[in-house]
Amino acid sequence: MISTYHPDETVVGKKKGRDLVKPVAVLDYNNTMGGVDLKDQKLSACLLERKRCVKWYMKIFKRLLNVSVLNAFILLTESISRRGKPELLHRSFREQLADSLVARHRRSSPQVNPGIDMEDLRLRRDLVHVPELTTGRGNRMNCRICARNGKDKKVHLKCATCDEAMCPGDCWRVWHSLQQLPGRDIKSRKGRRRH
CB of 171 to Zn ion, least distance (A): 3
Q: Which is nearer to Zn ion, 16 or 137 (CB)?
A: 137
Residue 138's alpha-carbon distances to 58, 66, 78, in angstroms, are 35, 42, 58
Bridge partners (DSSP) of residue 131 are 159
Q: Which is nearer to Zn ion, 6 or 153 (CB)?
A: 153
Binding site for Zn ion (CB under 5 A): 129, 143, 145-146, 153, 159, 161-162, 167, 171
CB of 135 to Zn ion, least distance (A): 19
Q: Which is nearer to Zn ion, 69 or 171 (CB)?
A: 171
As a whole number of angstroms, the distance between CA 160 and CA 174 comes to 16
CB of 137 to Zn ion, least distance (A): 18
CB of 120 to Zn ion, least distance (A): 10
- 155, 165 Cβ separation under 8 angstroms: yes
Burial 4-34 (b: 16+ CB within 10 A, else e): eeeeeeeeeeeeeeeeeebbbbbbeeeeeee
Q: Which is nearer to Zn ion, 91 or 173 (CB)?
A: 173
CB of 129 to Zn ion, least distance (A): 3
Helices (H) and strands (E) in the chain, counts: 5, 7
- 159, 172 Cβ separation under 8 angstroms: yes
Q: Which is nearer to Zn ion, 69 or 167 (CB)?
A: 167
